[in-house]
Each structure stands twice: as C-alpha cells, then as structure tokens.
Amino acid sequence: MTGAIRPSTGAAHTRLYSVGGYRPARLVTNAEICEHIDSTDEWIRTRSGIATRRFAAPEETISDMSVAAGGKAIAAAGIAPEQISAVLVASCTTIVQIPAAGPEVAHRLGATNAAAFDVNIACAGFCHGVALGSDMIRAGSAEYVLVIGTEKFSDVVDPTDRSIAFIFGDGSGAAVIGPSDVPGIGPVVWGADGSQASAIEMNADWVTKATAGERAFLQMNGQQVFRWAAYEMAPVARRAVEAAGLTFEDIDAFIPHQANMRITDAMVRALKLPSHIAIARDIVDSGNTSAASVPLAMETMLERGEIASGATALLVGFGAGLSFAAQVVTIP
C-alpha cells in the first residue's frame, strides 16, 4: 500500500444566499381553462384555491426559464457565475432527456467551472436539491451550488383533462447555496413511497405514444394524492423541525409545495401552527408549478413583505414518486 486516499473537507455550515424566480408572461385565467373543460371559476377556486397560472410561450424551454431564474439568483447572491461549483436543475417536465438541461443552463449562465446535472423528483425536486447542494458543500465537493426548480406543464398536461387541466402552471425558481459561519440549512427529512407511484404518472412512455402518433400526458389520482399529502406530510414537517433542534415557536414561515390550497390548510391544521407563522399561498396566482413552487413562493413572500431576510422557514416538498423532502432554512 503506497498511501491512503485523502478525503475532501468542506464548510462546517451552509445557507441560502439568494432566491430568484421567473414567471412566464402569459397569464392564464380560470375562464380560459374552462374553455376546454366543463368547469367554472368558482369550482376551480373552491377545489384548489387557484385563480390564475402562467404558461410559457411555445418556444420557451426548460433551459430558457432556468437561465432566467438562475441568473437572477446569482446576481442577488453577489458572486460571479464562475464561482458556482455545481448546477442542479430539478424538473419532471423536460421533454428532451438527452442531453440534460443542466449543462446547457450552466454554460448559458457562465458557470464554466460547474458540474451540472438534472434531478427528476417532481414536486419535491427543489427541496431535494437544497439538501444535495448543502451536503456537497459540507463534504468539500462544491463551494457554491445553484439549485433551480423549473417546470413547463403546458407541454405535458392535456388541456381537455378536467381532472388536472386547471392545476398546473409553468415557471422557474432558483437559489444559491454557499458556506456559512452558522447553520442556515437544517437536516433533511426525506423519503419515497414507491407503492403509490401510479398516483401521478404519464399515461404512457414517449416511444409508445410517438409510435401511435399521439402525445403522452400526465395523469393523477387526485383523491389518492390529497389523502397522502394532507395526512402524511404533517409528520414529515414535524420531524424536520425537530431535526433542526427547534420547535414551531421558532418558525417564522411555512413554505410547503404549492399543490392545492386545501392540502396546505389541512397541514396547517394538523400541525397546529402558531398564529405568528406566515403561510405561503402562492398557488392562488401561480398554480402548481411542481419543483418551482417552493422557491417561487419564497420569492413572493419576500417581495410582499410577508417574511424578512434572516427569518426561519420550514420547507416541505412532496409529489410524484410518491416522494418528499423537508428542511428548515434561514431566509436569504
């Protein structure tokens, strides 16, 4: 034996340096959605809490939206793109699987020294990305990590499918993670229940549909997902707060994945959240943007003054897989 392998070491702690969002220009009302399905604005608002959502332009891609949000986050972080060590693009709606979006996004942002890759964990993707980025920095394999959640559901949702056509929107949210003198990102509580994988899935693989001259679309068992999220995610959220060594009295904001207003309300009730905690409700204006929803909701709360820099927030992501991840963070 000639010698032992030298391990890498990184920062003791990490934090979010910034958040940046991109919302496509096209505003889609419930009235427009109802032109293709038998529904009403009142029914959609009651069922989901959604009033409007954004749809990307036909020529806009996952990479385009990721670059817009990522560039905003890098600028707000006050670092140069060349300092980014890794770019993680979380998305479940990339319709081109090779190459991954990550390398193109990193190149267009000027993150020339970064490793770049995609993660497909659907609505839990951003929270998974935050955990991965934080661990990479603490392990010494990265100094700064850009995590981007981006979705373009207008490509994969059938506008005539009454069960989900009103739910999803397009958009991108990003955050820069870097080293910190004090803990700014708590331990992640994550997992997956593959026994319920069929609750949210494509109706066929791309090849089968292409061969038949058809398009593959997303489908979802709404009641199954609602029951799982409304009742199973509250214990996950509680464990994340406990893992951070805190209580709910220490939490200033609750930012869950913006899946459905009724799910958010059910979680708030189950957790018995103190009245001082600000609750993210970006779903009203953005719909369900999956991996983009947590950072977009965070940005909205900051812009509206509902939370301030330095506040302590509980993040929870959950969705297809069925997968979930939660952690406590300090707001950038």
List active site positions. Answer: 123, 257, 288
Q: How many other CB atoms are found less than 10 A from the CB of residue 204?
A: 16
CA-CA distance, 317 to 25, in Å (whole number)? 25
Closest CA to 294 of 146, 164, 123: 123
Residue 278: beta bridge partners?
253
Q: How many other CB atoms are found less than 10 A from the CB of residue 224?
A: 14
Torsion of CA 133, 129, 132, 278, to 10 degrees: 80
CA-CA distance, 44 to 273, in Å (whole number)? 26
CA-CA distance, 197 to 320, in Å (whole number)? 7
Contact 312, 246 (CB under 8 A): yes
